[in-house]
Amino acid sequence: MTKLLLTTALAALATGAAAQDRQLQLYNWGDYTSPEMIEKFEAETGIDVTITDYDSNDTALAKISAGGHGFDLVVPSAHMVPVYVEQGLIQELDLSKLPNHANIAPEWVDVDWDPGRRYTIPWQWGSTAVAVNTSAYSGDINTSDVIFHPPAELEGKINVVPEMSDVMALAILNQGGELCTEDLDVLKRVRDMLMDAKPHWLSMDYDSEAKLSANDIMAALTWNGPTMRARLNNPPVQYGYPKEGYPLWMDSVALLSDAQNVDEAYEFLNFIMAPENAALISNFARYANGITGSEEFMDPEMRDAPEIVIPEEFKANGHFLPTCPPSANDLYTRIWTELQS
């Protein structure tokens, strides 16, 4: 053990100096990168990929803006991309080095946060909505009322994901407000509704998947990926798309301005836009990826899963979360703090 520690110590201390073979530093959300996809990329290119985890957009932004981080690629959420661009933290892509750029599905090219996809490449996208165990509740599940005004059948059997922006967005849409609203009348109603609803919930944590699978809870405000995994374990679990509106999100890969391994990063970006490789990413984390033709390489149970492929009639109700101004976020934080205490 001592010997192992010592050799690792020497290797670790020397990292800065050692001239390595081709390598790539990916800074991504924890448990989000398909190991199978990375192995395939390493085998094909001989590039050694190191993955480092982060747990929030804020941590990632703080580390990257401090400089000297050593990362090449980062995977921010949609509303963070303009911040990275404004601060000059990510560089414009040379599309001539990315022949697979044409594979980006048309609806994901001209997105608000990066028109023409000049800075970012789609990684995965999904939605935040409601999951209901239909053996416990047979009413309409395409409404956020199942969480905010829970029916008697779901009383005390609800888990809510502790993500402020998602919960606030669903609550504001439920009250007919606009995303990022600072209208105090709307926010007053949102606050009252959340405070009234909370006693009917069981918990606020990230573990909806296991709890839905085990029938510990009968409804959840959660993401589509965990709901799909729960349904595969426990078929009565269904995903509802609230008619009042629900938030969509997308995480995209960006090339950092101070990346050390730029050529390797381009190879990686091009690699993940090949449909068969994008499918590997989706198969691991169970979210859609925004690359045309990747569906046929996905696991069969994902291809037409109603959690992954949004049914046509519900598509219009999905809204991307814009970057809210700090004044709006301050108001939301106050409501959120009250809700959590």
For other proteins, the binding residues (CB under 8 A) are 4-5, 8-9, 12-17, 25, 27, 29-31, 50-55, 59, 62-63, 66-71, 206-210, 226, 229, 285
**CA atoms of 315 and 129, how far apart (whole Å):** 13
Are 282 and 134 in contact by the 8 Å Cβ rule? The answer is no
SS3 227: helix
Shortest Å distance, C-beta 244 to other proteins: 25
Shortest Å distance, C-beta 21 to other proteins: 15
Q: Is the CB of 54 or the CB of 113 nearer to other proteins?
A: 54
Shortest Å distance, C-beta 323 to other proteins: 21
Are 186 and 175 in contact by the 8 Å Cβ rule? The answer is yes
**CA atoms of 23 and 265, how far apart (whole Å):** 9
Shortest Å distance, C-beta 64 to other proteins: 10
Q: Is the CB of 117 or the CB of 157 nearer to other proteins?
A: 157
Shortest Å distance, C-beta 268 to other proteins: 14
Q: Is the CB of 5 or the CB of 152 nearer to other proteins?
A: 5
Q: Is the CB of 51 or the CB of 136 nearer to other proteins?
A: 51
State the amino acid at position 219 in one-letter form: A
Shortest Å distance, C-beta 186 to other proteins: 29
| Token digits of residue 306 | 């109603």
Burial class (CB in 10 A: 0-12, 13-18, 19+), 70: middle
Q: Is the CB of 87 or the CB of 138 nearer to other proteins?
A: 87
Q: Is the CB of 13 or the CB of 152 nearer to other proteins?
A: 13
124: closest CA among 334, 308, 321, 274?
Answer: 308
| Token digits of residue 110 | 């001209």
**CA atoms of 262 and 97, how far apart (whole Å):** 11
In the chain, count H helices and then E strands.
Answer: 13, 11
Shortest Å distance, C-beta 210 to other proteins: 5
Q: Which 8-state DSSP code applies to residue 100?
A: G
Q: Is the CB of 74 or the CB of 331 nearer to other proteins?
A: 74
Burial class (CB in 10 A: 0-12, 13-18, 19+), 210: middle
